[in-house]
Amino acid sequence: MITKQEFWDIYEKFFPKIFSYIFNRVDNKEVAEDLVSQVFFKALRNLEKYDESRWKMSTWLYAITTNAIIDHYKKSDDCVPLENHQNICCTENTSNEEIDFEINLDKAIQALSKLPVRTQEIIALRIYENLAFGEIAQIVWIWESWVKMSFQRWIETMRNSLNLLLLIIFLMIF
């Protein structure tokens, strides 16, 4: 059983990661702060349910975080905004390649935003947080093989609609 002091240490260790993850998903500082508060309050309230033999602390916190984000979007029309990129300002000096890149990036973001919320969470946990498929499976409560398949299908879809170089750049940006 974790003491409240140990939980405070966990809070200090994981707050920046959880806040960053939420902020990347909601793109709003105030909403991110509210959701982080909800996550840690729920974790503290449910400390007695935490099973160290079943979960790593980070996995348990990301599971709570993912559910908080999904609940947030269920309350606000189920739409997850993924337009966190900066548009290229078109000037006389903007090359055709830069314009083409921006158009393709917009297409990629639109395609990603049309995915089910759970699939978006799988992609975000894998890309933003660099989590293993097994840990993601625990967080979103599905089989590891399903997580791998969802991620691989997304990669294939992106590969089919974008050239490989753009896919690599897209993954580096997001």
pLDDT digits (tens, 9 = 90+) for 59-104: 899 989 988 988 898 887 544 444 444 443 444 455 566 656 666 5
38: pLDDT confidence band, cut at 50, 70 and 90? very high
Which listed CATH number (3.40.718.10, 1.10.1740.10, 3.30.1180.20, 3.40.50.261) goes with 4-75?
1.10.1740.10
CA distance 5 to 24: 29
**Is the CB of residue 39 less than 8 Å from the CB of residue 18?**
yes
CA distance 11 to 13: 5
For 15-127, where are the E strands, in sequence order? none
What local confidence, expressed as pLDDT, does residue 31 receive? Answer: 94
Mean pLDDT, the chain, rounded, equals 79
What is the pTM assigned to this prediction?
0.60
Which residues have CB under 8 Å from 37's CB, separation 6+?
none
- Tokens 């999904």 -> residue: 70
Q: Is the pLDDT at 123 greater than 90, yes or no?
A: no
Tens-place pLDDT, residues 127-144? 878 899 999 999 888 899
What local confidence, expressed as pLDDT, does residue 98 receive? Answer: 61
Which class would CATH give 96-173?
mainly alpha
Domain 4-75 matches domain 96-173 at the CATH topology level:
no
What local confidence, expressed as pLDDT, does residue 56 receive? Answer: 87
Which SS3 state, helix, strand or coil, does residue 116 take?
A: coil
| φ/ψ (deg, to 5) at 27 | 55, 40
For the stretch 78-87, contacts whose Cβ atoms lie closer than 8 Å and that sit 24 or more positions apart, written own/partner, are 78/117, 79/113, 80/25, 80/113, 80/117, 80/120, 81/26, 81/27, 81/113, 82/109, 82/112, 82/113, 82/120, 82/174, 83/27, 83/109, 83/113, 84/24, 84/27, 84/174, 85/109, 85/173, 85/174
Q: Give me the residue spans of the domains in the chain.
A: 4-75, 96-173
